[in-house]
């Protein structure tokens, strides 16, 4: 299909963007060098493999109907060289230089006349490790879909994709009528009625959850400057599972409690007073079903969670998070104010165009920080024979928020990517260190075993 209407939530993300609030997500993938594989070869692979992903060849265009709508259309003038670029960092500490540069690159909005994505090959001056920064507009993909798209650059995925493409070319696919089966139409109508009912319930929850008494003054509530700063942290996935087995709950519950403790620790180091009320986290939840049909648009809901920053005991924070998340899960991802994304599916395109500024400013009334977990393939990956050693996901910042935290597990490590407003949180590295220190303390408390923080 050469043209495809943007799904309502994708359209919302497209209109929410401004120069000061780019709505792209990303990932910083770090690779170890391999003998005989230079930057030129890596750049060539990035270009050829990205060009082979059909979704990355599509740009957003206006349509006459529906009014206010937009569509994905194959870019007839697509040139992958406009999207893939090599940059060099001269810092002696490669990771420090790469994260600093990645922050500057994440500030830049993606061009709207081209397919909305970019890849940057970040190299050091000495031929050591290198990184690839991938930027995808949130209208193009949610976290799980972004992983599927971005993974196309890896050797292992590219080989499988190439084989499947060849097989499809040899197999005739019977044409399907554009007219749906009458039974499908009835099912669609019933589903639509159910969706509208859910949206009304979510809307009422949003009104009830909206806060006029916002969380007290802090760096997390500073006015947006449009600047970006990145920082990373690394945790031991085996240690995380040991804590989970001892304390119960899920690994994600433990990580959310660690984020809460890290914020408390960071505030104390800065000399900030603890807030009168706990900050709220928006915790995205995928609505994609394992084994279900692969939808191209965003399929998201979310939970709202009070991060127990005011609790002094790490175990109390663990229990508070587990209890709150259990209540969220019992209600389900399509209920409650956190499921605000469900509302976008019920609005006409014109409402997204004119309502985007209001929706962007209203996000601050619901939550203070985004904390998301991004699932990654468990198998080892490489690029041009260069092993992938770490992958730090990066979430977009909503208007009025200064911090977003994303986590992923790969190679026995939990990689934490922190994205912040550069002016509001110039000491983001201290918060990243606080995440590692907090995890070390939680592990020691729960297991009775000391661990040295990862440097």
* pLDDT, position 33: 95
- If phi > 0 it is left, if psi is from -120 to 50 it is alpha, else beta; for residue 301 that is beta
Is the pLDDT reported for residue 128 higher than 70? yes
Is the pLDDT reported for residue 81 higher than 80? yes
- Residues 405, 416: contact at Cβ < 8 Å? yes
* pLDDT, position 27: 93
Is the pLDDT reported for residue 244 higher than 80? yes
Give dist(CA 16, CA 183) in Å, integer: 37
- If phi > 0 it is left, if psi is from -120 to 50 it is alpha, else beta; for residue 249 that is left
pTM of the model as a whole:
0.84
Nearest to 26 by CA among 110, 126, 113, 114: 110
Greater pLDDT, 354 or 125 = 125
Interval 251-280 mean pLDDT: 93
Provide the 3-class DSSP secondary structure of residue 113.
Answer: coil
What's phi and psi for 234, nearest 5 deg? -130, 130
Q: Which of 264-278, 284-298, 309-323 has the lowest mean pLDDT?
A: 284-298
Interval 238-267 mean pLDDT: 96
| H-state helical runs in 108-181 | 143-150, 155-170
* pLDDT, position 310: 94
* pLDDT, position 325: 92
Interval 114-131 mean pLDDT: 92
- The overall average pLDDT reported for the chain is 80
Is the pLDDT reported for residue 425 higher than 50? yes
Q: Where is 283: in which H helix or E strand?
A: strand 280-286
Q: Which are the contacts of 127, defined by CB distance < 8 A and separation ≥ 6?
A: 33, 38
Is the pLDDT reported for residue 281 higher than 70? yes
Is the pLDDT reported for residue 279 higher than 50? yes
* pLDDT, position 67: 79
Is the pLDDT reported for residue 98 higher than 90? yes
Give dist(CA 433, CA 438) in Å, integer: 9
pLDDT-based confidence at 366, cuts 50/70/90?
Answer: confident
Nearest to 150 by CA among 374, 409, 413, 386: 374
- Residues 96, 432: contact at Cβ < 8 Å? no
Q: How far is CA 269 from CA 233, 273, 439, 449, in A?
A: 18, 10, 16, 25
Q: Are strands 24-31 and 70-74 parallel, antiparallel or unpaired?
A: unpaired
Greater pLDDT, 201 or 431 = 431
Q: Among residues of the chain, what percentage have pLDDT more than 70?
A: 74
Nearest to 17 by CA among 109, 90, 142: 109
pLDDT-based confidence at 199, cuts 50/70/90?
Answer: very low
* pLDDT, position 145: 72
Buried b (16+ CB within 10 A) or exposed e, 245-255: eebebebbbbb
Is the pLDDT reported for residue 183 higher than 80? no
Q: What is the largest CA-CA distance in the chain?
A: 67
Q: Which are the contacts of 419, defined by CB distance < 8 A and separation ≥ 6?
A: 103, 106, 228, 229, 230, 394, 395, 396, 397, 403, 404, 406
Is the pLDDT reported for residue 424 higher than 60? yes
* pLDDT, position 446: 92
Q: Where is 405: in which H helix or E strand?
A: strand 403-410
Is the pLDDT reported for residue 345 higher than 70? no
* pLDDT, position 349: 63
Write out pLDDT tens, residues 150-169.
888 899 888 766 555 555 54
* pLDDT, position 11: 81
DSSP string computed for 28-94: EEEE---TT--HHHHHHHHHHHHHT-GGGGEEEEE-SSSTT-EEEEE-TT--GGGTEEEEE---SSH
pLDDT-based confidence at 193, cuts 50/70/90?
Answer: very low
Interval 326-344 mean pLDDT: 66
Is the pLDDT reported for residue 362 higher than 60? no
Is the pLDDT reported for residue 192 higher than 70? no
pLDDT-based confidence at 228, cuts 50/70/90?
Answer: very high
| Best mean pLDDT range from 134-138, 239-243, 337-341 | 239-243
| Best mean pLDDT range from 106-115, 224-233, 312-321, 329-338 | 312-321
Nearest to 23 by CA among 222, 228, 220: 228
């Amino acid at each position: 299909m050469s043209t495809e209407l943007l799904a309502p939530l994708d359209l919302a993300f497209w209109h929410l963007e401004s120069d000061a609030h780019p709505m792209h997500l990303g990932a910083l993938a770090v690779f170890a060098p391999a003998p005989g594989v230079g930057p030129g070869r890596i750049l060539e692979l990035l270009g050829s493999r990205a060009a082979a992903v059909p979704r990355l060849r599509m740009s957003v265009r206006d349509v006459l109907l529906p009014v206010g709508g937009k569509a994905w259309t194959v870019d007839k003038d697509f040139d992958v060289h406009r999207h893939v670029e090599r940059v060099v960092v001269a810092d002696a500490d490669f990771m420090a230089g790469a994260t600093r540069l990645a922050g500057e690159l994440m500030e830049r909005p993606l061009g709207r006349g081209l397919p909305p994505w970019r890849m940057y090959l970040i190299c050091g001056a000495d031929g050591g490790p290198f990184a690839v920064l991938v930027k995808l507009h949130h209208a193009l993909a949610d976290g799980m879909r972004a992983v599927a798209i971005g993974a196309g650059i890896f050797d292992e995925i590219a080989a499988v994709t190439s084989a499947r493409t060849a097989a499809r070319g040899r197999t005739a696919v019977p044409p399907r009528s554009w007219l749906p089966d009458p039974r499908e139409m009835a099912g669609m109508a019933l589903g639509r009625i159910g969706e509208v009912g859910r949206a009304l319930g979510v809307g009422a929850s949003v009104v009830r959850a909206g806060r006029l008494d916002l969380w007290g003054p802090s760096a997390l509530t500073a006015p947006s400057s449009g600047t970006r700063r990145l920082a990373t942290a690394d945790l031991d996935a085996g240690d995380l599972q040991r804590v989970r087995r001892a304390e119960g709950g899920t690994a994600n519950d433990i990580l959310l409690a660690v984020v809460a403790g890290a914020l408390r620790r960071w505030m104390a180091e800065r000399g900030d007073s603890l807030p009168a009320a706990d900050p709220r986290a928006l915790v995205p939840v995928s609505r994609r079903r394992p084994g279900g049909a692969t939808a191209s648009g965003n399929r998201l809901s979310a939970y709202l969670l009070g991060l127990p920053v005011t609790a002094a005991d790490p175990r109390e924070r663990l229990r508070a998070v587990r209890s709150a998340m259990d209540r969220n899960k019992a209600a389900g991802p399509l209920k409650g104010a956190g499921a605000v994304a469900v509302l976008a599916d019920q609005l006409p395109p014109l409402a997204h165009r004119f309502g985007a500024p209001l929706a962007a400013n209203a996000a601050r009334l619901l939550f203070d920080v985004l904390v998301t977990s991004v699932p990654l393939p468990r198998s080892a990956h490489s690029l041009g024979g260069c092993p992938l050693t770490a992958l730090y996901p990066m979430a977009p910042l909503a208007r009025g928020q200064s911090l977003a935290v994303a986590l992923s597990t790969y190679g026995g490590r939990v990689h934490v990517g922190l994205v912040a407003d550069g002016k509001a949180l110039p000491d983001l590295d201290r918060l990243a260190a606080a995440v590692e220190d907090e995890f070390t303390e939680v592990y020691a408390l729960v297991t009775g075993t000391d661990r040295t923080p990862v440097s």
